[in-house]
């Protein structure tokens, strides 16, 4: 399963909605996510990928969509 | 339908708060959601729909008892056709030129009812101001938290809008176990919670001292931002706390307002602890009972206020990572051992320091899809919750469509009317900085 698919599954479980209704290019706030849910996503990323994105002062465009988040994780994991 | 629903720890804390409010203010643990309508609501038709809808939900006529395992539970009456008192529906009117602050002042009187008012865990006030209606749905926190109340109200409005004269189908309720075991896990959670609270008490947390005079009254002020003001606020929250970090930003700005007020009062300050409610519902469709836990923010009083937003965003992250809201939720289950009245007394006495300096809550945005009702355009939706006597001061945030409302609530045993207005003035300056 790709990083993006994992994130979509996580958000679908959080919001109790089907996976196929989630647009990975949509800004997170338009999906109905709030600060608590965003923090839960960040905690998942730290637990699963060992990346503390909250400490990295990322730009908005690097975390504003699931697609961007997946790409940021990919970039950070590159040696 | 299941007739018994075991209460979780937060439900029992809320019941304890009801006793505390009764002792200190002579009222129950009430809150209300207000829908502001651009038109005159047909009260006859809506009131009739309210009575039919409530009649189909026996859970609204339940009561708390101790189960055979001594865990408190909510007993739901067997029949939905038995005798029940009508749901209170009060109509009031004010002149068309009444200022909004006086509308809010009038609506707050609807909240001050005694606990256990027979058959009434809910009620409505329909306040007319000229051609405008403020429909206030009052609810007892033992039965709903703020997000649950929004969900229930939405279902009720949808039923009323359907025009059906048949009662709605009975609802099924998700069972809640008694959560009696494993005890070890709950004690471990309790230990973790106490660790965090002790760590935050490195700087003695400031709490508002009790004033000598109190008539047990609450004061409310509403800051209703329009969509442009909201967009600017969200941009500032992003700059200072991070993307989507609205809650930590609001906590930081609320603290700045309180800090600025306290400095004018020359209070000796050491540090602040600010509890903030966190939504813990498993499913967004959970309507009944309480599904919240706490995140606690803290800082030294002398710290640079411009760092508070990012500091609180970090604390929010670390406490979520360490599962603190879950530990709070779990540890509170132990509180069910105590009778609620004893618990209420402890909260206003022995546990008062743990109540924090003031409280903040993001109470929801579940009515954002509500744009019209009874043929009237919806202008706004805001919340008016009572705040526990300790700490006696609270900031409550809710969103409706592209707008944010901030409600300031204070108890007269900690802030006078003039002091309440001072805090609100500071809050307005911070949430709506001039020229931005």
By C-alpha distance, the chain A residue nearest B238 is: A60
Q: Which residues of B386-405 are buried (b: 16+ CB within 10 A; e: fewer)?
A: bbbbbbbbbbbbbbbbebbb
Interface test with B, best of A12, A26, A39 (most B CBs within 10 A): A39
pLDDT digits (tens, 9 = 90+) for B16-54: 888 888 888 888 899 999 999 999 999 999 999 999 998
Q: Is the pLDDT of residue B167 over 70?
A: yes
Q: Which residues of B22-55 are buried (b: 16+ CB within 10 A; e: fewer)?
A: bebbebbbbbbbbbbbebebbbeebbebbebbbb
Cis peptide preceding B182, ω within 30 of 0: yes
Q: How many residues are there in chain A?
A: 79
Rg over CA atoms, chain B: 21
Q: Report the alpha-carbon distance of residue B284 to residue B202 in Å, rounded.
A: 37
Work out how many CB contacts closer than 8 A connect A with B: 44
Which one has a higher pLDDT value, A45 or B69? Answer: A45
The answer to ipTM > 0.90 is: no
Which one has a higher pLDDT value, B145 or B9? Answer: B145
Q: A36, B247: Cβ pair inside 8 Å?
A: yes
Average the pLDDT over B299-310 and give the result: 89
* B285 chain-A contacts, CB cut-off 8 A: 16
Of B247, B278, B317, the CB nearest to A42: B317
Let me know: does B423 contact B262? Beta carbons within 8 Å: no
Q: How confident is the model at residue B351 (pLDDT cuts 50, 70, 90)?
A: low
pLDDT of residue B118: 61
Residues 6 or more apart whose CB falls under 8 angstroms from that of A10 comprise A41, A44
* Mean pLDDT score across all residues of chain B: 87
Average the pLDDT over B167-181 and give the result: 69
Of B244, B248, B321, the CB nearest to A29: B244
pTM, to two decimals: 0.90
By C-alpha distance, the chain B residue nearest A44 is: B321
Of A35, A42, A46, the CB nearest to B248: A35
Distance from CA of A60 to the nearest CA of B (A): 6
* B317 chain-A contacts, CB cut-off 8 A: 39, 42-43, 54
Q: A34, B317: Cβ pair inside 8 Å?
A: no
Q: B243, A34: Cβ pair inside 8 Å?
A: no
Of B246, B284, B314, the CB nearest to A35: B246
Distance from CA of B248 to the nearest CA of A (A): 8
pLDDT digits (tens, 9 = 90+) for B84-127: 778 889 999 999 999 999 999 999 988 886 655 666 899 999 99
Let me know: does B329 contact B179? Beta carbons within 8 Å: no
N-to-C CA span, chain B: 54
Q: Is the pLDDT of residue B80 over 60?
A: no
pLDDT digits (tens, 9 = 90+) for A5-27: 999 999 999 888 899 999 999 99
Average the pLDDT over B406-414 and give the result: 95
pLDDT digits (tens, 9 = 90+) for B202-244: 566 788 888 878 888 999 999 999 999 999 999 999 999 988 8
Token digits for B375?
């043929």
Q: How far is CA B379 from the centre of its chain?
A: 21
Of B283, B284, B316, the CB nearest to A39: B316
* B313 chain-A contacts, CB cut-off 8 A: 54
Let me know: does B244 contact A34? Beta carbons within 8 Å: yes
Of all residues in chain B, the percent with pLDDT exceeding 70 is 92
Distance from CA of A76 to the nearest CA of B (A): 19
Of B238, B279, B314, the CB nearest to A36: B279
* A18 chain-B contacts, CB cut-off 8 A: none
Of all residues in chain B, the percent with pLDDT exceeding 90 is 50
- Backbone angles phi and psi of B239, in degrees to 5: -65, -40
Q: How confident is the model at residue B173 (pLDDT cuts 50, 70, 90)?
A: low
* B362 chain-A contacts, CB cut-off 8 A: 34-35
pLDDT of residue A57: 76
Q: Report the alpha-carbon distance of residue A36 to residue A46 in Å, rounded.
A: 15
Name the DSSP class of B143.
T
Q: How confident is the model at residue B194 (pLDDT cuts 50, 70, 90)?
A: confident
By C-alpha distance, the chain B residue nearest A32 is: B365
Let me know: does B223 contact B421? Beta carbons within 8 Å: no
Q: Is the pLDDT of residue B60 over 70?
A: yes
Q: A38, B243: Cβ pair inside 8 Å?
A: yes
Let me know: does B387 contact B409? Beta carbons within 8 Å: yes
Q: Is the pLDDT of residue B371 over 80?
A: yes
Cis peptide preceding B391, ω within 30 of 0: yes
Q: How confident is the model at residue B79 (pLDDT cuts 50, 70, 90)?
A: low
- The helix or strand, by DSSP H or E, that contains position B180, with its residue range, turns out to be none
């Amino acid at each position: 399963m790709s990083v993006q698919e994992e994130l979509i599954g996580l958000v679908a479980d959080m919001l109790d909605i089907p996976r196929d209704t989630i647009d990975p290019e949509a800004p997170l706030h338009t999906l109905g996510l709030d600060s608590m849910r965003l923090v839960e996503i960040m905690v998942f990323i730290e637990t699963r990928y060992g990346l503390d994105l909250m400490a990295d002062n990322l730009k908005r465009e690097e975390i504003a969509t699931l697609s961007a988040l997946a790409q940021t994780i990919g970039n950070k994991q590159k040696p | 339908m299941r007739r018994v629903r075991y209460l979780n720890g937060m439900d029992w804390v809320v019941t304890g708060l009801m006793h505390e409010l009764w002792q200190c203010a002579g009222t129950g643990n009430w809150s209300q959601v207000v829908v502001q309508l651009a038109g005159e609501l047909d009260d006859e038709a809506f009131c009739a729909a309210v009575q039919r809808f409530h009649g189909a939900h026996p859970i609204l006529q339940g009561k708390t008892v101790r189960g055979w395992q001594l865990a408190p539970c909510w007993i739901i009456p067997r029949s939905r056709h038995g005798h029940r008192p009508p749901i209170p529906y009060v109509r009031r009117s004010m002149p068309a030129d009444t200022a909004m602050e006086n509308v809010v002042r009038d609506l707050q009187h609807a909240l001050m009812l005694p606990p256990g008012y027979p058959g009434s865990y809910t009620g409505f006030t329909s306040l007319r101001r000229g051609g405008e209606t403020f429909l206030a749905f009052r609810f007892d926190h033992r039965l709903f938290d703020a997000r649950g109340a929004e969900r229930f109200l939405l279902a009720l409005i949808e039923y009323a809008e359907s025009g059906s004269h048949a009662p709605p189908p009975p609802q099924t309720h998700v069972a809640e176990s008694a959560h009696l075991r494993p005890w070890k896990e709950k004690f471990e959670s309790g230990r973790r919670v106490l660790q965090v609270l002790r760590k935050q008490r490195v700087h003695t947390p400031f709490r508002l001292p009790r004033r000598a005079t109190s008539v047990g009254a609450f004061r409310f002020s509403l800051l209703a931002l329009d969509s442009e003001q909201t967009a600017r606020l969200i941009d500032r929250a992003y700059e200072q706390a991070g993307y989507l970090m609205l809650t930590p930003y609001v906590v930081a700005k609320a603290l700045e307002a309180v800090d600025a007020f306290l400095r004018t009062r020359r209070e000796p300050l050491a540090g602040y602890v600010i509890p903030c409610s966190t939504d813990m519902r498993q499913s967004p469709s959970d309507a009944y009972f309480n599904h919240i836990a706490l995140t606690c923010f803290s800082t030294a009083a002398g710290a640079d206020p411009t760092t508070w937003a990012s500091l609180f965003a970090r604390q929010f992250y670390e406490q979520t990572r360490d599962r603190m809201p879950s530990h709070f939720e779990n540890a509170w289950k132990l509180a069910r051992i105590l009778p609620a009245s004893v618990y209420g007394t402890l909260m206003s006495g022995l546990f008062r320091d743990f109540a924090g300096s003031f409280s903040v809550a993001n109470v929801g945005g579940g009515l954002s899809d509500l744009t019209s009702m009874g043929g009237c355009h919806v202008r706004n939706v805001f919340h008016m919750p009572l705040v526990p006597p300790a700490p006696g001061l609270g900031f409550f945030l809710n969103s409706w469509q592209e707008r944010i409302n901030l409600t300031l609530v204070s108890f007269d045993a900690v802030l006078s009317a003039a002091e309440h207005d001072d805090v609100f003035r500071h809050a307005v300056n911070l949430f709506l900085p001039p020229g931005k």
